[in-house]
Structures are given as C-alpha cells and as structure tokens.
C-alpha cells in the first residue's frame, strides 16, 4: 500500500516515550484508586475504549478482510502488535476446539524498566492490552476475552496472553457483510 | 475529474459527516417583461419552474430572488412590505421585473434524510442477491453522477459522489477511510457514532480531494 514507507515512519515515536507514558498512567491510577483490582478493571476499560477506535486504524492501514476462522484472527492480532507496538508475539497453545490460543511475548515494550512493588503483586500491569483486544474484536462483531497466564513482571520467563473466542455477534454484523 | 461530495454514514445509519466539494453553482438572472415565459408553481415551500424551459432556466429550478430581494417560501423579503410572489408576478404593472433562478440546494435535513434512505437500500441489495454473502451497493450509476460506496468491516459507510467518468474512486475512498481513522477517531473529543466536527479531518479531506482532482487519484 502506498502509505507504508516514508509517511508511516514519520509517525513512529520512540518506544521509551510510550513505555514511560503508560507507566505514568498506571502509577496515577494506583494513586487514584488505591485498590489493585479496581486499577485492573480501569485499565481494561481504557483498553476497550482504545480498541474500538484503533480497529479502524488497523483496517485502514492493512486493508485486511473479515475473518472466518479464529486462526485468521490470531494472525491478524499478531500483525496488529507488529504495527502498533513493534513486537511479534508468538501464537501457540491452540485449544482443542480452535477457539483459544496464546500470544507469547519474549519482550514487552510496556513493561520495560518496570518492577512491581510488593503491594501490587495482583496488578495486571498490561491489562490494557486485554481491553484493546476485546474492543477491537467487538467492532468486527466478535466477542473475545483474554487474560494473562504468565507475566515477566511476576518472574515468569515470558509474558503469555491467553485469548478465547466466545461468539460472533450475529446481530451486529452490518448488512452486506454477513 | 470532478468530485462532487463525500458522505459518511455511521453503523446505525445516521449521517455523521458530509462535505460538498465541487458542486457547480447554476444561477441565471434576467429581466422579464409581461407575461412571464415560465410557468411557476408552489411546492414543498418553494417556488419552482414547472414548465417553460428556456434561456438556461430549467424545469425544477427555484425562484431565488425578485428584483434583488430574496424569496423565502412564497414571499418576497422586501425591507418594508413582504409581498406574495404570485401576486407580484400576475400584476402587469410590476413589469419589467428582474428574476433570479437557480438550482435547489439540499438542506442539511434533506441530506440526513437521504443518507438514511440509502441505508435500507444497501441492505435490500445484499438480500436480493442470488448468491449467498453479497455486499450491498458498491456503485450506483446515474447519467450525471456515480455514487461509490465503501462499507468498512465495522459497518461505517463512506460514500463518494463523482462525475461518471471519474476513475479510481475505490482508492480515494480508502484514503478517506485512513483520514477518518487518523483524524476523527484519534481525536479524544470525538465520540463514536456522533457527527464529525473535526477541523483537522475536514482540512485534510479537502487537501486530499483537491490533490486528487488536480493530479489524479493514483498520486495520493
């Protein structure tokens, strides 16, 4: 596509700036809510609101079509991480029904420079990603849920985000698309 | 290369954006003597030419002004005493008279109405299809314009009304989609499904359309 190339690169920002901005956000939320579970919830909600807008950017940039299989979806989500975060998570651990998979991050730009203090061991620091996935998929008429099963911040080797397909939102499919 | 206008219709069928890019203005002004050579009727709260198409005044054109005073509904908005159009025109003493005719402009309400009419047409088209899984209307052709419609996977419709000879509208629609994703959706003060009032979006769209008219769509 014509836009990839010079014009897209011009919009690239240093990932450190992004990492630190996100860090500020989480720190501020912790200050505001003083309750780790509430912060997890808020992060997810914010992510959702980002996701429902970000999906249009993704579709406009990639020109990708509708998914008719969750495997397509997985690959497209992977491509999304490449575009927006510059990382390529691995797709592994497919569930037997083909409706569940894991995204495994060797490195995660959100968590660079981050150590969790003792009092927030329950904090899902990257929970915004779960919200983004939910929002973005919902806009293309797919209900998914996702959660972290491994987290580098909690001593695991890798960060693993489990994504599960719940259902297609048949009512919401626009005419001419179903 | 003429692009007439751009419409964006939300997932729920409401008009959230419209932009008239290049609508040729047609107005003719002339001094008439009695009797008037056009037959005028009053319909839809407008004075319309019903018959007698000549000298650039076509059937369907509206009476815009009489002796330089604008016509509103069927009254002439004169400073002192508003008068009825038909009373004035039927009286030979008022001639010679200067009349201005022009093409009707669509009001915002009419545009909203038309945009919501297109929505079910689009849906019907996808159901009439003999094949399963068909898109709705993508191109609607008429002798004076083509309407190109692009529906995103999320259900937003982008419509472009262009001259029939215009090519590459698909590409242009896609570029407009990118602008929408960038300038409308990344604006934190824009809420989804609401009318788009973003200056950046509008000015970028304007640039895009100007460019593609001048240099061709493939260059954008």
Q: What is the interface pTM, i.e. ipTM, of the complex?
A: 0.86
Q: pLDDT band at residue B219, thresholds of 50, 70 and 90?
A: low
Residue in chain B closest to A173 (alpha carbons) equals B155
**Is A178 contained in some domain?**
no
Burial label for A91, CB within 10 Å (0-12, 13-18, 19+), is: middle
Domain boundaries, chain B: 3-23+107-215, 27-102
Strand partners, B97: B32
CA nearest A137 in B: which residue? B154
| CA-wise closest residue to B122 among A63, A67, A174, A171 | A174
Put simply, whether the predicted model's pTM sits higher than 0.90 gets the answer no
**Residue A67 neighbours by CB under 8 Å, 6+ apart:** A73, A76, A140, A142
Q: What is the percent of chain A with per-residue pLDDT over 90, rounded to a whole number?
A: 68
pLDDT, one tens digit per residue, over B39-57 is 999 988 889 999 988 888 8
Q: How confident is the model at residue A11 (pLDDT cuts 50, 70, 90)?
A: low
Cβ <8 Å between A175 and B136: yes
The CATH number that applies at residue A70 is: 3.30.1380.20
Instruction: Please report the residues numbered 117 through 146 in chain A whose beta carbons come closer than 8 angstroms to any beta carbon of chain B.
Output: 139-140
| Cα distances (Å, whole numbers) of residue B111 to A157, B134, B203 | 58, 27, 21
Classify domain B3-23+107-215 by CATH architecture: 2-Layer Sandwich (3.30)
> CB A56 to CB B151 under 8 A?
no
Q: Which CATH number fits domain B27-102: 1.10.3720.10, 3.30.56.10, 2.30.42.40, 3.30.310.80?
A: 2.30.42.40
Nearest-Cα distance to chain A for B180, in Å, is 8
Cis bond before residue B96 (omega within 30° of 0): yes
Q: What 3-state class would DSSP assign to B211?
A: helix
| Chain B contact set for A140 (CB, 8 A) | 153-154
| Counted domains in chain A | 1
For B126, nearest residue in chain A (alpha carbons) = A176
Residue B213: which residues within 8 A CB-CB, separation 6 or more? B1, B2, B3, B22
How far are the Cα atoms of B21, B138, B141, B169, B210 from residue B165, in angstroms, in the given order?
A: 17, 16, 11, 10, 17
pLDDT digits (tens, 9 = 90+) for B74-100: 888 887 788 888 988 888 888 899 999
């Amino acid at each position: 596509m014509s836009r990839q190339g010079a014009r897209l690169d011009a919009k690239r920002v240093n990932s450190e700036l992004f990492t630190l901005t996100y860090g500020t956000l989480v720190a501020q939320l912790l200050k505001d809510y003083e309750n780790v579970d509430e912060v997890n919830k808020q992060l997810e909600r914010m992510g959702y609101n980002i996701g429902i807008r970000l999906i249009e950017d993704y579709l406009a940039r990639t020109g990708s079509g509708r998914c008719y299989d969750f495997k397509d979806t997985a690959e497209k989500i992977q491509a999304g991480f490449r575009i927006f975060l510059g990382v390529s998570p691995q797709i592994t651990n497919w569930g037997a029904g083909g409706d569940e998979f894991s995204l495994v991050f060797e490195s995660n730009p959100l968590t660079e420079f981050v150590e969790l203090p003792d009092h927030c061991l329950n904090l899902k620091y990257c929970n915004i990603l779960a919200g983004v996935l939910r929002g973005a998929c919902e806009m293309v008429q797919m209900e998914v849920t996702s959660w972290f099963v491994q987290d580098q911040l909690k001593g695991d080797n890798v960060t693993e985000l489990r994504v599960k397909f719940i259902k297609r939102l048949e009512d919401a499919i626009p005419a001419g698309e179903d | 290369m003429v692009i007439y206008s751009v419409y964006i219709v939300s997932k729920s069928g409401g008009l959230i954006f419209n932009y008239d890019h290049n609508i040729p203005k047609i107005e003719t002004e002339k001094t008439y003597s009695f009797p008037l050579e056009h037959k005028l009727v009053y319909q839809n709260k407008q004075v319309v030419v019903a018959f007698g198409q000549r000298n650039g005044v076509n059937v369907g054109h509206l009476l815009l002004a009489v002796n330089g005073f604008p016509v509103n509904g069927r009254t002439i908005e004169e400073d002192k005493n508003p008068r009825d159009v038909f009373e004035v025109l039927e009286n030979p003493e008022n001639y010679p008279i200067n009349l201005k005719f022009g093409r009707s402009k669509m009001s915002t309400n009419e545009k909203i109405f038309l945009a919501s009419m297109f929505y079910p047409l689009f849906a019907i088209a996808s159901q009439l299809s003999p094949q399963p899984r068909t898109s709705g209307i993508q191109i609607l052709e008429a002798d004076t314009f083509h309407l190109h419609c692009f529906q995103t996977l999320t259900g937003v419709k982008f419509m472009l009304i262009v001259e029939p000879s215009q090519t590459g509208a698909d590409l242009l629609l896609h570029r407009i989609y990118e602008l929408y994703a960038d300038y409308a959706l990344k604006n934190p003060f824009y809420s989804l499904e609401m009318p788009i009032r973003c200056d950046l979006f509008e000015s970028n769209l304007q640039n895009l359309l100007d460019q593609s008219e001048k240099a061709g769509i493939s260059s954008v």
